[in-house]
């Protein structure tokens, strides 16, 4: 939704999101100058806003995170919400795995309506704020419960703000997902993962021409080989502790063998055939906050039923067996 295949056969994702932010101190918000990585970070970790964006105040029990477990971008927010202990201050709405061209729907809820928002489609919450909203109705989205209006669907910024702006409500042992000592290296790694892995599988799967597919495929596997090597000497991407970078990579790995290997033609190898990445993925899956957010059936239903251009029969495969995710990973020995 909101993306297309260009004349060269390349999949282009529409990354123009609602850039409003929920800030601990909205009155101190500044203007984001750029998105450069370095000592500035373009406001990602600070109080800066893009031009015309609105600052909303952090407030317990005011906002509802709408996040379909089937969606990898939404899955990130569900993981971060659990890791930081924000379940009691940010409610969650869970759309079902399938949707039509209009919107994600709350078809799994009683009467087909979100019990808090009272809407059947997430589209209604977008339209309450932007009656002529011209782009795709995407998840995750944060909705203002009192008004039912969407606040933001900027998935990258949502999890950053959960970490940096909602600290007042973090549980006592919440992890630091953006450790200062790793920021300089971490943002470029996350950027590479996004372009060649997270979005790379989509660029391969939706490519409209052979050349475009092969380019995306080669970039994907070049990065996966690089990650396989990186994870041979460290437990997590940045060392001994889980960071945002691991969460961003995990949601793609969780879907790899079930969907991307076949459905998106990313079939050089299965994840289970890459020892370090497979052990790393199991390590994360078995960490509280990760595995319980993954629903393999919903994941398969979403991709194989919704993507009729890729899978016109809408037949959903029965495998692979999710029990393999519970096997021992033996990654702890890599910690310092």
Longest dimension (CA), the chain: 54
Task: Give the three-state DSSP class for 242.
Answer: coil
Both tokens assigned to 36: 């450069």
Give DSSP secondary structure letters for 275-298: HHHHHHHHHHHTSTTTGGG--HHH
Annotated catalytic residue, options 71, 213, 280, 303: 71
Residue 303 annotated among the catalytic residues of the structure: no
Closest CA to 325 of 272, 273, 267, 249: 272
d(CA 237, CA 94) in angstroms, rounded, equals: 29
d(CA 175, CA 179) in angstroms, rounded, equals: 9
Annotated catalytic residue, options 41, 126, 202, 303: 202
Burial class from Cβ neighbours inside 10 Å (0-12, 13-18, 19+) for residue 59 reads middle
Omega of the bond leading into 320 within 30 degrees of 0 (cis): yes
* Dihedral pair phi/psi, residue 164, rounded to 5°: -100, -25
Residue 71 annotated among the catalytic residues of the structure: yes
Question: Which residue in the block uniquely carries the two structure tokens 């009272």?
Answer: 118
Percent of residues in the chain assigned helix, strand, coil, to nearest 5: 40, 10, 45
Do 325 and 285 contact (CB within 8 A), yes or no? yes
Active site residues: 71, 202
């Amino acid at each position: 939704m909101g993306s297309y295949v260009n004349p060269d056969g390349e999949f282009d994702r529409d990354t123009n999101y609602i850039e409003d932010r929920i800030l601990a101190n909205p009155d101190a918000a500044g203007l984001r100058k750029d998105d450069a990585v370095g000592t500035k970070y373009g406001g990602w970790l600070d109080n800066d806003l893009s031009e015309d964006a609105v600052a909303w105040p952090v407030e317990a029990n005011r906002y509802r995170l709408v996040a379909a477990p089937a969606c990898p971008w939404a899955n990130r927010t569900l993981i971060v919400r659990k890791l930081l202990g924000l379940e009691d201050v940010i409610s969650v709405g869970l759309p079902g795995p399938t949707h039509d061209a209009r919107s994600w729907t709350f078809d799994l809820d009683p009467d087909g309506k979100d019990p808090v928002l009272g809407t059947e489609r997430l589209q209604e919450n977008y339209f309450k704020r932007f009656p002529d909203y011209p782009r795709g109705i995407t998840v995750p989205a944060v909705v203002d419960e009192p008004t039912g209006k969407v606040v933001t669907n900027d998935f990258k910024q949502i999890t950053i703000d959960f970490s940096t702006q909602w600290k007042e409500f973090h549980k006592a042992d919440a992890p630091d997902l953006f450790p200062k000592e790793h920021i300089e290296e971490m943002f470029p790694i996350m950027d590479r993962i996004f372009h060649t892995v997270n979005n790379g599988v989509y660029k391969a799967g939706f490519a409209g021409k052979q050349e475009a597919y092969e380019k995306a495929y080669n970039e994907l596997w070049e990065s996966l080989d690089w990650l396989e090597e990186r994870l041979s000497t460290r437990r997590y991407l940045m060392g001994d502790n889980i960071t945002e970078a691991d969460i961003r990579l995990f949601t793609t790995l969780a879907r790899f063998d079930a969907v991307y290997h076949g459905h998106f033609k990313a079939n050089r190898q299965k994840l289970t055939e890459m020892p370090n990445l497979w052990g790393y993925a199991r390590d994360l899956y078995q960490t509280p906050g990760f595995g319980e957010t993954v629903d393999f059936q919903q994941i398969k239903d979403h991709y194989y039923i919704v993507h009729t251009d890729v899978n016109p029969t809408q037949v959903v495969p029965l495998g692979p067996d999710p029990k393999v995710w519970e096997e021992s990973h033996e990654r702890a020995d890599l910690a310092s």
